Amino acid sequence: MNIAPPVSIVAATPDQKTTIANLIQLYLHDMTEFMPFPVEPDGRFAYDFLDRFWRFPYLIMAGDEIAGFAPVIDECPLTGRRPCFFMAEFFILKAYRGRGTGRAALVVVLARHPGNWHIATPILNTAALAFWQKAVAPLNAATSDIQFEGDTGA
């Protein structure tokens, strides 16, 4: 029997910014299935939002291993709503998907930031839409407000 390791989130420190920047490359690679991202001359995907989203950055851990990341900000750039937390990005490595890792990490992140939330995902990313709809539905009653939408703007 393959038992999934315990899931935790760790507040990323400034010296782990490179770690998250590297994970963003994997995230953007996965996202190119649904939307184009420009590739720089050095072969890396262009991503100019890490500094903007570096307010509450988290590494998602499965046991002692990095399983993903989740930067959270305290405003909604899509709606301008304040106060409001926004899941700037949310990424689980493929090896940890479908094992409850994402949902467990989400529960911890939401507990650390109680209040209003806005979570959006590109409408063409059907796997992410299914995850968010399933993961958020049972949590709405336990939180102030989680506004979820399939949004081409995020």
Assign domain 7-150 to a CATH class: alpha beta
Instruction: Please report, in tens digits, the pLDDT of each residue of the chain (154 residues total).
Output: 466 789 999 999 999 999 999 999 999 999 998 888 889 999 999 999 999 999 999 999 999 999 999 999 999 888 888 889 998 899 999 999 999 999 999 999 999 999 888 888 888 888 888 888 888 877 754 444 555 555 444 4
The contacts of residue 11 (CB under 8 Å, 6+ apart) are: 56, 57, 58
Question: What pLDDT is attached to residue 5?
Answer: 84
Do 12 and 57 meet the contact criterion of CB atoms below 8 Å apart?
yes
Question: What pLDDT is attached to residue 143?
Answer: 45
Question: What pLDDT is attached to residue 110?
Answer: 92
